[in-house]
Structure 1
Amino acid sequence: MKLGSLIDSDFIITGKEFGSVVDAVNSLIELFDKKKILTASTDIVKTKTLDREKLGGTLLPPGIAMPHARVEGVDDLIIGVWVPPKPLETDDGIVKILFFFLTSIAGSSLYLPMLSSIAKSCMDDKFFNKLISSNKDEVHKLLNSVILKQEVTVEDIMTPNPLTCSKDTSLSDLADLFYQKGLSYLPVVDKNMKQIGEVTIKDILNRGVPDYIRRMGSVKFLKNLESFEALLRDEDKIFIKDIMRKPTRSISKDASVIEAVVLITGKGHRHLPVLDHGKLVGLLSETDILKKVIRG
């Protein structure tokens, strides 16, 4: 199946400027309504879309906005495209092209494969630059060259090119990275992106609690943070290789989403390194599944 076959060329807007993503989406909704394909009123559709965007928009590199909403009565999937004459600056980042999706309340089996196909195609700079500089007919023709895969795999919902660390990263730099990026887990890789370990915030905390304290029957009497003071004093001298653990989990990029869910729920993992022939290519978290599948 080709991507262009799912997009009506009348629902592609090029050369027109809008002040916001919401304005562009509202204009596409009006086009849907003119074609008499909406079973709900435009006001309801606009409200549903705005409510969904308030939960957090989807903006993929290199500037692909993907607002979407689930509306009762929509027949599977309706898609609109807007190519701004110049990039639009938003709070989420710079928008160079927008794909708007309306699906039924139950969602569409094509939604995730479509997101994946669009993201992969737009990673090709030549394709993407041509797409954002074309007129309506040319955009539709380009989209019709994109083959839509039918199955949904881990690769479709993972975070590609995730942050990693090396065994020689200091504990100080690791703590800064966790703090600044809001992370709690990082894969440890070698120069070839092969995973050689993993490290979590818990591993840092463990370093601050000596073994002799763990052997005590009770630690209620310990009121100071002397052990952590020692950790902070030596954090530039402690390295990830001193605290990391051997890899305990991973999943193939070609694995099914259900397989990932079973691993996460059955083993208690919050993150899964994603591998391709032994090389780390992504990271899948329980939050990815929530955002892209449950609330996608």
Structure 2
Amino acid sequence: MKLGSFIDKRAILAGDHFDHYYDAIDALIDIFGKLDLLPVSTAEVKDKVREREAQGTTVLPTGVAIPHARIEGFQDLLIGVWIPEEPLKTEQGEIGILFFFLTSQVGSLNYLPILSSIARSCSKDNFPYNLKGMNIHQIQDYFNGMVFRKELTVEDIMTPDPVTCSKDTTLEELLDLFFEKGLSYIPVIDEKNRQIGEVTIKDVLSEGVPDYIKRLGNVRFLKTLEPFEALLRNEKTILVKDIMRPCNRGLPKEASIIEAVSNISSKGYRHLPIFDGKELIGLVSETDILHKVLRG
């Protein structure tokens, strides 16, 4: 299906100037209101958008903003577009194009596939900045060239190019990655980007507590951090291969999102490696499911 078939030309704002992206959203909502497409008042839709934006930014690092509102009882999907004459700089990031979505409380069947199509477009043809200067008809033609699949796979929601390490990474370097990147799980790969193991913060903590302490029934008497002090003294010589575990999880990129959810919920996984053949290409986490499916 073509993205252009879901976007009314009357809901495309090309080159219009707004000082804040909320102003652009409001203008698109007003257009929907004038076209008598809204199930509730424009004021209520605007309030819904602001409630959603307060939960977290919908401005992506790629220059695309995807604000949306979910309206209970609404059975349609409306899409409005704003392309500024010059990218709008915001505290959340730069905006080269804004897609405003209005959908039902549970989401239209086309909503996530369209988001996935937009995300894939961000990696090619300098999208969205190549739309700058186009008129509405040219923009519509461009969207008609964007075809999306209704079937979603884990590739559509995964975090691509995840942070990885090698078996020869030192504990010091590993701790720096965990700390600086805000991670709790890192795949261990070989020189061909094939996963050979995995390491978590829990593995590091376990390494810092000797076996004899783990066998003690009560460790309340231990008031110092001596075991961790010993670990940190050797962080330059301890290697990932000394603490990593085999990786016995993962899905091919063609796997369904439901399969990923099943693995995460039934097996207690927080992260699932995603593979293209034997090559690691991404990770799907609990957070990906929350942000991109349940609250996308």
TM over 0.5: yes
Q: Contact 1:97–1:132 (CA<8 Å) still a contact in 2? A: no
- 8 Å Cα contact 1:64/1:97 also seen in 2: yes
Decide whether the 8 Å contact of 2:68 with 2:100 is kept in 1. yes
1:240 maps onto 2:240 in alignment = yes
Q: What pairs up with 1:1-296 in 2 under 5 angstroms?
A: 1-126=1-126, 128-296=128-296
Q: Deviations over 1:241-287 (max 9, x none)?
A: 11111112111221111111110011100111111111111111111
Shift of 1:73: 4.3
- Deviations for 1:88-144, whole angstroms, at most 9, x for unmatched residues? 112221111111100012211111100111111221135544223422211111010
On the 8 A contact 2:64/2:128 being kept in 1, the answer is no
CA contact (8 A) 1:18 1:24 kept: yes
SS in 2 for 1:166: coil
TM value normalised by structure 1: 0.95
**Greater shift after overlay, 206-215 or 147-156?**
206-215
Contact 2:79-2:99 within 8 A present in 1 as well: yes
Q: Distance in 1 between matches of 2:220 and 2:30?
A: 65
How far apart are the structure 1 equivalents of 2:162 and 2:258? 22
Q: CA deviation at 1:206?
A: 1.0
Residue-by-residue CA offset, 1:28-84 (whole Å, 9 max, x unaligned): 101111111112100000000110111112233421111111013433200011111
- Structure 1 window deviating more from structure 2 (216-225 vs 51-60): it is 216-225
In angstroms, what is the RMSD of aligned CA positions? 1.5
The one-letter code sitting in structure 1 at the alignment partner of 2:232 is L
Cα deviation per residue 1:188-216 (whole Å; 9 max; x = unaligned)?
A: 11222211111100011011112232234
Measured in 2, the distance between the counterparts of 1:30 and 1:276 equals: 44
Provide the C-alpha distance between the structure 1 equivalents of 2:116 and 2:216, rounded to a whole number of angstroms.
Answer: 52
Q: Name structure 2 gaps, 5 residues minimum.
A: none
Task: Determine the C-alpha separation between the residues in 2 that align with 1:122 and 1:96.
Answer: 11
Deviates most, 176-185 or 118-127? 118-127
Assess, with a 3 A threshold, how the Cα gap between structure 1 residues 241 and 214 changes in structure 2: closer, same or farther: same
Q: Which is worse superposed, 220-229 or 142-151?
A: 220-229
In 1, Cα distance between the equivalents of 2:261 and 2:240?
29
SS of residue matched to 2:116:
helix
Alignment-mate amino acid for residue 185 of structure 1: Y
Q: Secondary structure at the match of 2:62?
A: coil
The residue type equivalent to 2:223 in the other structure is K
CA distance in 1, matches of 2:222, 2:198: 30
Q: Which blocks of at least 5 consecutive residues in structure 1 are unaligned?
A: none
